[in-house]
Structure 1
Amino acid sequence: MQISAILIILGLALLLASPHTALGELPSVVPADEIMVKIRLGLPVEYDKVAINGNLTSERLGLTAKQILRIPFEVKMPASDEPMQANSSIVIKNSIVYGRVDFGNTLFHKPVVFENTFFMENASFENSIFEEDTGFVHSMFLKNASFADSSFNAKANFSQTYFKGSASFYGTQFGGIADFSLARFYTDAQLASSQFNSNVAFAKTDFRGKNNFKEAIFGQEAQFNKTKFGKESTFERTIFAGSVQFSGPVFNSTADFISSQFTKDARFNEAQFMGPALFAGARFSDLAEFKDCHFPAGVDFTGSDFGIDATFCNTSFGQRADFTASDFLGFADFCGSNFACDADFSNCSFRGPADFSRSAFSEKMNLYDAQFRRNVHFESSKINKINLTQARYEWLFLKWDSINHLEFDDNAYQMLINNYKKLQWYGDSSDCNSTYMGTAAQEAPNQSHLWIIDGIRSIVLGGNSSHLPDLIF
């Protein structure tokens, strides 16, 4: 390798690495076959500040050590279902790998560490098994990197790792702790069908391309705190068996959690969903927290189940908020929230208390056929338009002057009037009654509802009011 090429790569390293980890001196050149011979013989592989020239491929392990040194070109080995055996501990730090890396179908019996190392070509560890700790801390893959269908039986550390090309962890199994904190994915990241059997951290991870966690399984605690999702994020049918935290993340495009399952507490506090947020059919078996969230592009929770408490307090909904046919088994807390467009809670079941106090509904709130088995609170709320048709409730704490318009339905009006009487809010009952009579007259120009109006006249004014002038109404 010419010294000029080394200087170019060193300049790249100094540009991309952080100041405290950048290479501080010219690396010495090590032939890739020297490393492969050590792995073949089971000798420790330990290098620091080196430039590795040539390809690192598991096919070379099918040769003897002498053959590796004598044959300067790659030899195509017969296909085998048995994995190549790597009995060496591998520790390479502050280095550059110029050639291709292909350790597919390899069994690593000892620790594998590539720390602050640059991979200049494609790197593949597909269908491999890492029996002990594995780390790529602060390393950079300048082209594609794939760990698809591999197994990490101990800790896997990818913190501060940069993936400039596509990154695939499709079907990968993580038996120990997995750490992707502060990692950066410049293009698409594929983690569909991956399985995390222990705790996993994606704290402050930066996904600049699409990321796909479809049908992934998180067996223990998962953290995505302050994570950035630049493009579409897919968590469709993902299973979170442990606690999950998405505190303060930013989703800049569609966030798809359709039919996902959250077995323990799920916290999305202060999350910003700049694109559509899709949670249709999601199952929250424990606490679901969406405090102080921001949904400027609409949110869909249709047909979702909230097994314990669901908290959306102080959350802003910029577009349609759809909770149609959702089931709230515990406390449903929407206090202090702001709904700029329609809020649809039709066909919902609220089995615990529901709190919409201090909330603002700028357009329509739809409670058609909603069922409330406990108290419903709307104190200090403002509602532009509300539909209470076929809604069922025992105690509705909603002041009449908080409603700009109630969609007309005979039973809805009568139920609300009776509710005010039970609460001994006689002023609200009278005002609601007056609005009902005027609205009923407008809704019945063909006299079909006049018998109802006449009955209300009798209740309000006493006696038979049929002789009263029509102008009164």
Structure 2
Amino acid sequence: MSWCSAALLVSLVAVAIYPCSGQPSVPAQEILAKITNNEPVYYDGVQISGHLDLSSLPEARVSESLALVNCTVPNATFDGITFAQDAIFWGTAFNNSSFEKATFLGQADFSNATFDQADFSGCTFSQPAFFNGAIFKDNASFEDAAFAQDAFFNAARFQGNADFNYSQFDSYSYFAAAQFSRDALFSDMEFSEASDFSAATFSGQANFIRSRLVEPYFGDVLFSGPAQFGLVNFDGLSGFGGAVFADEAGFGLARFSHAADFSSAVFRDLALFGLTRFEDIVAFQEARFEGDLNFKGATISALLFEKAELDKETRIILNDTDISRFRARWDEIEDHVAWEPGAYLALVENYRRLGWSKDEDNCYYHYRKLDQAAKKWSWSKAIDILAWLSCGYGVRPGYALAWSLFTILCFGLVFWKGDGIRRSSRPLSGPAEEDSFPERVTL
């Protein structure tokens, strides 16, 4: 055997004995014995050998603090366990572990931990829960979990599906810069306090249907897949400024009870706000729309649309929309508003309330032109054409002036051609007599 083969064999044996970069091994029974004796547990940089099954503990309870820092836990069961004190798993790698229906009465710290598959469904976190920088290599379930204090998932990476359906966040929640590589499910849940998703990345579906969000902030978020916010109840200021919606953005039947900010957001597909209620200001200033913008049946209290960019084929659908204030200059949207008589008349009334006379006239003129074009030939269409040519449907006074000047010019030309306008053949030879009439009047 050559020295190279011998070295390789020694390396393989070392890897087999110490599979995790030479971490010392601690038997699971040693940890269980300490927990049974109500002793605090603290290990740093070790590998747990055997099955760490806490479900067999008396009363399924860990009475003292449990800390496994930078450890490797190949197999562990924490289902239904109550952690009475702090549970610290900072930087620990879990290969096959489950925390289903566990209760954390103290602080739970899983910062920078790694999970092959994570099950925290039905868990209760009574104190702050930390998952900052955690990596979930497979599906992660927090379904029906309850967070009584702040929950931190900043920069966490969910490489499988992330399931937070039916969960409850009673305090602040932080998902800043989190990465969701597959579907992120947040439906039928409640954020009772502010939630921060700033700069997060959703590569799959982002589903928040039927949830309640209080002061959510999605600034600079990238939604690569469909973003579903249908039937969501937004309380407090909702921020989507600078967000990018690469797929459909669905806000149908959502309710914004306070201001909503979509300024500088980018919508690369359909932006659906059908039957949405905006009870306060909603801002789309400097936003960009590459697909249709659908407000069908929506209720809009005040919409700011200045400097918004619309692609050539983008349509703004306002059918059956109740508009109180729509601050968008007509010349910026006139080629994009989908034809519907009621929508155009609502915009005319909107501009009247805003006092934008020019926009009101231009919108009404466009409405009459489209209405005229939609009619079949009849007396009504003939009258419309006459109204168009004569006075621009009453909002183009220049038309009437032009016709007046044209008429005067035409009749003057006729009189001149007919020798109706000429010099008198009898020049005046003396001073005109006062109170006398000329022998002939020549026009």
| Normalised TM-score (structure 1) | 0.71
What residue is the counterpart of 2:198 in the other structure? 236
Q: Could you tell me whether the CA contact under 8 Å between 2:242 and 2:264 is conserved in 1?
A: yes
User: What is the CA–CA distance in structure 2 between the aligned matches of 1:229 and 1:265, rounded to whole Å?
Assistant: 21
Q: Could you tell me whether the CA contact under 8 Å between 1:52 and 1:98 is conserved in 2?
A: no
Q: Could you tell me whether the CA contact under 8 Å between 2:345 and 2:364 is conserved in 1?
A: no
What residue is the counterpart of 1:376 in the other structure? 338
Give the AA of the match of 1:350.
L
What residue is the counterpart of 2:284 in the other structure? 323
What residue is the counterpart of 1:306 in the other structure? 267
User: What is the CA–CA distance in structure 2 between the aligned matches of 1:370 and 1:111, rounded to whole Å?
Assistant: 62
1:97 Cα deviation after fit: 0.6
User: What is the CA–CA distance in structure 2 between the aligned matches of 1:401 and 1:372, rounded to whole Å?
Assistant: 15
What residue is the counterpart of 2:92 in the other structure? 128
User: What is the CA–CA distance in structure 1 between the aligned matches of 2:328 and 2:363, rounded to whole Å?
Assistant: 16
Q: Could you tell me whether the CA contact under 8 Å between 1:233 and 1:254 is conserved in 2?
A: yes
What residue is the counterpart of 2:41 in the other structure? 56
What residue is the counterpart of 1:458 in the other structure? 401
Q: Could you tell me whether the CA contact under 8 Å between 2:344 and 2:367 is conserved in 1?
A: no
Structure 1 residue 417 corresponds to structure 2 residue 365: yes
1:262 Cα deviation after fit: 0.4
Q: CA RMSD in A?
A: 3.0
What residue is the counterpart of 1:343 in the other structure? 303
What residue is the counterpart of 2:155 in the other structure? 193
1:372 Cα deviation after fit: 6.2
User: 1:17-416 counterparts in 2 under 5 A?
Assistant: 40-41=26-27, 53-59=38-44, 83-93=45-55, 95-108=60-73, 110-130=74-94, 132-152=95-115, 154-251=116-213, 253-340=214-301, 342-351=302-311, 352-367=314-329, 370-371=332-333, 374=336, 376-381=338-343, 404-405=352-353, 407-408=355-356, 410=358, 413-414=361-362, 416=364
1:100 Cα deviation after fit: 0.6
What residue is the counterpart of 1:469 in the other structure? none
User: Over residues 166-215 of structure 1, what are the superposed CA-to-partner deviations in whole Å (9 max), with x where a residue is unaligned?
Assistant: 00001111101100000000010011111101111000110000000000
DSSP 3-state at the match of 2:231 = coil
User: What is the CA–CA distance in structure 2 between the aligned matches of 1:89 and 1:284, rounded to whole Å?
Assistant: 45
1:84 Cα deviation after fit: 1.2
1:355 Cα deviation after fit: 0.7
DSSP 3-state at the match of 2:258 = coil
Structure 1 runs not aligned, ≥5 long: 1-38, 60-82, 387-399, 438-452, 466-473
Q: Structure 1 residues 210-219 or 425-434, which shifts more?
A: 425-434
What residue is the counterpart of 2:15 in the other structure? none
User: What is the CA–CA distance in structure 2 between the aligned matches of 1:283 and 1:44, rounded to whole Å?
Assistant: 51
User: Over residues 292-324 of structure 1, what are the superposed CA-to-partner deviations in whole Å (9 max), with x where a residue is unaligned?
Assistant: 000010111011111111111000001001111
Q: Which has the larger radius of gyration?
A: 2
User: What is the CA–CA distance in structure 1 between the aligned matches of 2:384 and 2:252, rounded to whole Å?
Assistant: 32
Give the AA of the match of 1:91.
D
1:51 Cα deviation after fit: 5.9
User: What is the CA–CA distance in structure 1 between the aligned matches of 2:334 and 2:241, rounded to whole Å?
Assistant: 21
DSSP 3-state at the match of 1:281 = coil
User: Over residues 395-450 of structure 1, what are the superposed CA-to-partner deviations in whole Å (9 max), with x where a residue is unaligned?
Assistant: xxxxx57865474464773475256325416789969957747xxxxxxxxxxxxx
1:276 Cα deviation after fit: 1.1
Count residues in correspondence.
Answer: 367
What residue is the counterpart of 1:80 in the other structure? none
1:460 Cα deviation after fit: 7.2
Larger fraction in helix:
2
Give the AA of the match of 1:53.
N
1:121 Cα deviation after fit: 0.7
| Normalised TM-score (structure 2) | 0.75
User: What is the CA–CA distance in structure 2 between the aligned matches of 1:321 and 1:103, rounded to whole Å?
Assistant: 48
What residue is the counterpart of 1:72 in the other structure? none
Distance 1:347 1:376, change over 3 A: farther
User: What is the CA–CA distance in structure 1 between the aligned matches of 2:336 and 2:306, rounded to whole Å?
Assistant: 17
User: Over residues 123-155 of structure 1, what are the superposed CA-to-partner deviations in whole Å (9 max), with x where a residue is unaligned?
Assistant: 10001111x222111111111110001111x21
User: Over residues 73-101 of structure 1, what are the superposed CA-to-partner deviations in whole Å (9 max), with x where a residue is unaligned?
Assistant: xxxxxxxxxx2111222122260111011
Q: Could you tell me whether the CA contact under 8 Å between 1:52 and 1:99 is conserved in 2?
A: no
User: Over residues 331-350 of structure 1, what are the superposed CA-to-partner deviations in whole Å (9 max), with x where a residue is unaligned?
Assistant: 2211000012x211222233
Q: Could you tell me whether the CA contact under 8 Å between 1:354 and 1:377 is conserved in 2?
A: no
Distance 1:346 1:383, change over 3 A: farther
DSSP 3-state at the match of 1:424 = helix
Q: Could you tell me whether the CA contact under 8 Å between 1:363 and 1:383 is conserved in 2?
A: no
Q: Could you tell me whether the CA contact under 8 Å between 2:125 and 2:147 is conserved in 1?
A: yes
